[in-house]
Structure 1
Amino acid sequence: MMMQWRDTGLVVSTLAAFREMLDLTDKYEAVKDLRKRVLDVAIDEINEKSLYTASYDLTDKNGKSGRGFKLTHLKIKFKPKAKIIKNKAKDKTERDANTADMFTVEGLNDNQLGRIARNPQFITDYNHMVSPTSPAGQSQQGWEFEMINRLKKDASQFKKRPVRDYLDY
């Protein structure tokens, strides 16, 4: 659910709609039970196992929370975790995406592979390779990232036409 809103980093929903999305309409009717058995567990798992940090707030319809307010809305805030990059060699330079090297396909650089992955004919030919529910099926950037990695890893799975032909479209 969060990935649908990754550009904003915020999901706002009523508790009723949230329960319905998770098919919990007849379970955890008390907010404390929903919080303890669903929300806290999910947030802890997201923070531990994903590339995102998430938190949530329960509020009333006016955005107020605390004692005396009927909690009816859920606000989930999330953001990508800071990437920790350990570079052992301080003078090591990053790989130039415009230069072909031994890790490219048919001598194509990353920018050319990106153009291929964005090509409408390529998308039509290989759309079946990605599940609509995966991150690659949710956004253009996810699709491009996934296809570039697959091309680099095993270009033999792309057999409908030579990969270079997609640059000419």
Structure 2
Amino acid sequence: METIVMDRFTCSGHDFVVGRIKAGVCYIGTTAVAKKELTKFFKGWPITEDIGSSQDVKEQLTAYFNGQLEEFNFPLAFVGTDFQKQVWQKLVTVPYGKTIAYSELARQVGNEKGVRAVANAVGRNPIMIVVPCHRIIGKNGRLTGYRGGIEMKVALLRQEGISEFAY
């Protein structure tokens, strides 16, 4: 296991933690839950801190929250099972300002009957916002859980001009 290099910063009123390995960003979360999530997502991985090491992520998240960026362009490093990685790679293709249902995402990854497995993979996405699990909603248009809390999910969807959902 390589060492995860952590950075912390505040952006648009949110305190973020970013984790990187050589291949790219492997984690984005909020400071409120980062310690718990890092243990869950990267059990046993060594972690070091380098404040200021993710200026590119901070700049792009700031531009996103200011309505000036719709696609992120820094390298991502997916750390998970092959199935989780497949789901996360498909999440990245869900366009800014659009939502899809878990059942549609399951169909897109070739596992129509595996909606629950897809939902579990979405829930274990360690790269919030950039890998846009907030764009996945229930088939009935209802919002489901989100790592950053349902309020953050609503705010992100509204940030992207999406207001047609129930919660």
Q: Which has the higher contact order (CA 8 A, sep 6+)?
A: 2
TM category (shorter chain) comes to under 0.3
The structure richer in helix per residue is 1
TM-score by length of 2: 0.22
Which of the pair is proportionally richer in strand? 2
Structure 1-normalised TM-score? 0.22
